[in-house]
Structure formats: C-alpha cells, structure tokens
Chain A
Amino acid sequence: MIRETTVLQGTEGVRLHQGDIIESSDPGFAQLEFAGGTTVALGPSTRLFLFSHPRGKMGDKANTAQLVLLSGWLKGETAVNGGAYRYASPLLAAETKDGTVVLHATAQAAEIFIESGSASIAEVRPNGNLGQSVGVKAGQFFSRRAGKNLTNNPRPTSTFLESVPRPFRDTLPSRLSRFGKPVEPRHDHEVTYPEIQPWLNIGQTWRRGFVERFQSRLKDAEFRKALEDHLNNHPEWDPVLHPEKYSPPAPPTPPHNTDSPHGRYPR
C-alpha cells in the first residue's frame, strides 16, 4: 500500500485513506469495505488507486467515489443508499448506485461484467475523462481493447469466465465487524520511481495531484534521475525539476539614472 510517499505493508483491518494506492500480490486477495456498506474485492496482482471516497451526504451527485483500477481484477458490490461509485480503468469505467460489477483491466484491454443491479458504462479517454455513458442492466458484458471502441456482449466471454477469480463468483462476505480498532500498517520504505511509475503515467485527471504528493521524493537522486529520464511521459514534472525554465524573465536592468523614481511617473 502506498500512502503519501511511503510504502506500507498492508494487513487485515487497516483503515484506508483517500489517495491510497493498493497493490495485491499473486496469489493475493484484498477486500475494501466502505462506510455505507459498499464492498470492493481485489483479485491477484491488482493495482488500485483510491482516487476519492464518499464524503458528506450519501447519494450526492458530487460525492461519487472513484476507484481507479490500473490492472488486475476488481469486484464492487455497491450498497443501495451507499452512494454512487465509479470503478474506472484506463479504458473503461462503470458507475453505479446499486449494482455489482466486475472489472478486469490490463494494459491493452478492459472488461466489465454487470453481475447485478444497473450501471452506466463509459469509455475512458486517454486523459482519464469519461466519454458518453450508456445505461446497462444485469448480465451484460462489455469489453474494450486499446484504441478500439466499446463492445457489448449479452454474456461474458469464456476467457473472462475462466479467468475471473474464484472468490468473485460468490457474494462478498462482510468482515468489517471483526475489526473494532483499526490496525496500523507497517512502515516499509519510501516509494521508489519504479513502484510509482505506472501511476505517474495514467490519465491527467487522476494524476493531477501527484506532483505535489511526490515532490518530496526529489531528494532521492535515483527518483529524480528516473523522473528526468521519463519526463516525456509526465511533463507536468518539468516545472518542478527545472524551475529555472519557468521562472519569470528577469526584468531588464534599468539604465543608470539619478532621477528620483517619482520623477518617472506622472503624479
């Protein structure tokens, strides 16, 4: 788990914060439970960014929780009256208030299965913004390959069904009541560039706060060098790495003049 600039070893019962990045091992399985009753499961080798989680009044349009799946498997059981949840990947996103969706993402493709309830599906643009969304019903399956359009199938493909993590085939059991007091995650190390690199390259919508968040890691020479090397992928770091290029030009040196400044401006 990456919280701010620190890599933490997650364990059962850890309380999540907005902005946390969670990665599961292979084989690994993680379950996130939110206030309001929504449960999200992560399959093996999954990378998830908790972009925003619900705050304030439930059901508020502006209060949609956003979970960004970079790669791997996600199953979201959205509780009725628990607010709206957007489960997004770099290619496809689903938003629902009452549905259960399974999202699978790789670098080249994304698939969404609406297990129950209803949802709206949208293509995700390269910058992370959503395209036109369509309302969908339970049982429908959508896929999209990089650079291609959305494909709608009445049933999931056999490949999807064969590879969906087995625990996803059942209703996710809540375990929240077992943990009264939050467990503190164990500090491991400060995040390195390779660990954060995929996230620095995702759509601008999602990575917009990363410069401020990871700026302190520029003290690490290796981190800084790696950023420099891949600057083309995340040019927003250039002003931080090379502030001199963006500082306002120095005012021209005034000609030597003995007049009082007051003499230059009309009164």
Chain B
Amino acid sequence: MKLIVKFNLVLFLVFVIAFLTVGYVSRRLLQRNAKEEILENARIMMEAALAVRSYTNNQVKPLLETQIKYSFLPQSVPAYSANEYFNQLRKKFPDYSYKEATLNPTNPVNRATDWEADIVRYFRQSSEQTELVGERDTPNGRSLYIARPMKIKDAKCLYCHDTPESAPRTMIERYGSNNGFGWKLNDILTAQIVSAPMQLPIQRAKTAFAGFMVSLAAVFVVIFAAVNAMLIFLVTRPANRLSKIANEVSLGNLEVADFQMSGKDEIAALSESFSRMRKSLVEAIKMLET
C-alpha cells in the first residue's frame, strides 16, 4: 500500500471521527442555544407587554376615565393594550403567541384553558416561583412556552374587578356582571404566557447546524487537498525520483542524471546524502577498475 494511501486513510478516519463528534456536540449546543434565544425573546416580549400594561394603567386610563362613563373603551384596559401590542408584534414575528390566561376574566377571550389553568394554579400554590418553562403537544406539533405569574399589585385594578356595583357601568354592559369580579390585592389569577412552536428552535438549530457542518466539511476537504498536495510534491515525488535514480545506479548505469533538491528539509538532506553516496560509489568502482 502506497504511503499516500495509508496517509489518506488515517486522515480520512480522523476527519470522520472529528466530523461526527463535532456534529453531535454542536447540534446539541445549537439546539439549546436556539431554545434559549427563543426564551430570551419571549422574556423581552413579556417585559414589553408589562411595560405597555403599566403605561395604559398609569397614563392612558386616567385620560379615558370620563369617556368610559359614556361608552366602554377597551383601550383603557391594560390586558387589551398588551394584546394589541402583541398583535402588532406578531406581524413581524408570527411564530410567537401571547395570552394573559386568567381564571376569572372579565373578557372571555382571556379565560385560561385547561393547561393554562394548571399553570395559574401552580403559580398560586408556589408563590415564590417567578417563571415556568415547558413544552407541550399541540395539534400543530410540539410547542415551547414560558409563563410568569401576574400578581394584582395595583389597587387601581380592583376598580373594575372588585364588585359589579363599583365597576364602570359601561363595562358591565359589555361583559355582564358574572365574570371578572371578586379579585383581591396580591392574588394571582393570571399567568402571562408566550408560546412558540418547538419546530421553531429545531428549525433554527438545523439551519445553523447545516451551515456549520458544511463549513466544517469544506475546511476538511481543503485540509485534505492541501495535505495531499504537500505530500505529493514534497515527499512522494522526490522519493520516487530518488528511488528511480538508485534503481538505475544499482543496475550499473552510473551516468544517470543527478538529482538535486533545494531547501533544507529532510528530503533535501536525503537527496544530498544520496548524491554524495552515489559519487562515492562511482569513485570506488573507478578505483577498482584501475
């Protein structure tokens, strides 16, 4: 087996092992990073929604207080403004969804579904818990969600959620007096939930992984080609020529052309040593003939 073949076999084996190892590690790493990135985006979206809620409660609602006495304006409701904000956001980030899942909401749209109600109840039981990340199966595939509890910290909220008698009449007209009342300060009735399909981080990770692996393969190919070229030009070819000359000399052809290699590497040293040995051999034969 030729030297270059042996060399390439070992190199290929090393490359394959390295490729598979790096691929496995990077795939897991990229998936985890993609998931973290999505969760981080979700956290930013949640914080932004909270900021919108606070702005609505502190600045917009007081301006609309008189108008609410004439007709109900959902723009004065923090949950409505947070949802509207998110709907705008979804135009650019359609994969994300937002809900303020509530056990006893005024607007039935915000009513917590079974799994959402479980999350709210979990936060009610674990008051120290500030965040919950999980995955769940949906008809559209696996979904990733992040949830945070919403505690009633502002007494202003109770203006609309304490009793039907104290709530704005226009709100009662819109939503009735059966839901959304009896809230208490510091109670947890709502969980802020941002969901994204699990396919999203997987797809992102796959895209990044494919790019990375193609790049890695390309680097391997380039290294493979460079190593082979160097092997051929610096080792194999000079070794073949030396072998050929040695073969001619051994057959008695002392007139064969000399082989000189420039440089100071091992092959050049071998070439120089071989030339010197050949000269010595020619001199010895001439002395024997005389």
B28 at the interface (CB under 8 A from A): no
Residues of A contacting B: mostly = loop
Please, how many angstroms separate the alpha-carbon atoms of A161 and B70 in the complex?
Answer: 7
Count, A-B residue pairs, CB within 8 A: 22
Contact of B70 among A138, A154, A169, A171 (CB under 8 A): A169
Question: CA A155 – CA B70 in complex, angstroms?
Answer: 9
The number of chain B residues with a CB under 8 A from chain A is 10
1/0 per residue, CB under 8 A from B, across A150-180: the answer is 0000111000010010000111000000000
Decide if B70 touches A164 in the complex (CB within 8 Å).
Answer: yes
Rounded to whole angstroms, the CA-CA distance of A138 and B169 in the bound complex is 10
Chain A: CB-nearest residue to B170: A155
Find out whether the CB atom of B169 lies under 8 angstroms from the CB atom of A171: no
Contact A169 B66 (CB under 8 A): yes
Whether the Cβ atoms of B169 and A169 lie closer than 8 Å is no
Question: Which B residues from 49 to 77 make CB contacts under 8 A with A?
Answer: 63, 65-67, 69-71
In contact, A170 and B173 (Cβ under 8 angstroms): no
How far in angstroms is the closest Cβ of chain A from B266? Answer: 93
B59 to chain A minimum Cβ distance, whole angstroms, is 15
Size of interface on A: residues with Cβ below 8 Å to B: 12
- Chain B neighbourhood of A170, CB < 8 A: 63, 66-67
Cβ contacts B137-174/A at 8 Å (1 or 0 each): 00000000000000000000000000000000110010
Enumerate chain A residues within 8 angstroms of B70, measured Cβ to Cβ. Answer: 156, 161, 164, 169
Contact check: which of A155, A161, A171 meets B66 at CB < 8 Å? A171
With a cutoff of 8 Å between Cβ atoms, the chain B residues found around residue A164 in the complex are 70
Nearest CB on A from B226, distance (A)? 77
Nearest Cβ on chain B to A71's Cβ, whole angstroms: 21
Distance (whole angstroms) from the CB of B254 to the closest CB of chain A: 116
B69, A116: Cβ atoms under 8 Å?
A: yes
* CB under 8 Å from chain A, chain B span 161-189: 169-170, 173
Chain B residues with Cβ below 8 Å from A154 are 169
Report how far A154 CA is from B169 CA in the complex, Å.
9
A12 in the interface (beta carbon within 8 A):
no
Inter-chain contacts of A169 with B (CB < 8 A): 66-67, 70
Interfacial residues, chain B to chain A (CB-CB below 8 A): 63, 65-67, 69-71, 169-170, 173
19 contacts between A and B (CB under 8 A): A115-B69, A116-B69, A139-B69, A139-B169, A154-B169, A155-B169, A155-B170, A155-B173, A156-B70, A161-B70, A161-B71, A164-B70, A169-B66, A169-B67, A169-B70, A170-B63, A170-B66, A170-B67, A171-B66
Additional 12 contacts, C-beta under 8 A, given A164-B70, A169-B66, A169-B67: A115-B66, A115-B69, A139-B69, A139-B169, A155-B169, A155-B173, A161-B71, A169-B70, A170-B63, A170-B66, A170-B67, A171-B66
Query: Which 7 residue pairs across A and B have the least CB separation, nearest first?
Result: A169-B67, A171-B66, A139-B169, A169-B70, A170-B66, A115-B69, A161-B70
Binding site for B on A (CB under 8 A): 115-116, 138-139, 154-156, 161, 164, 169-171
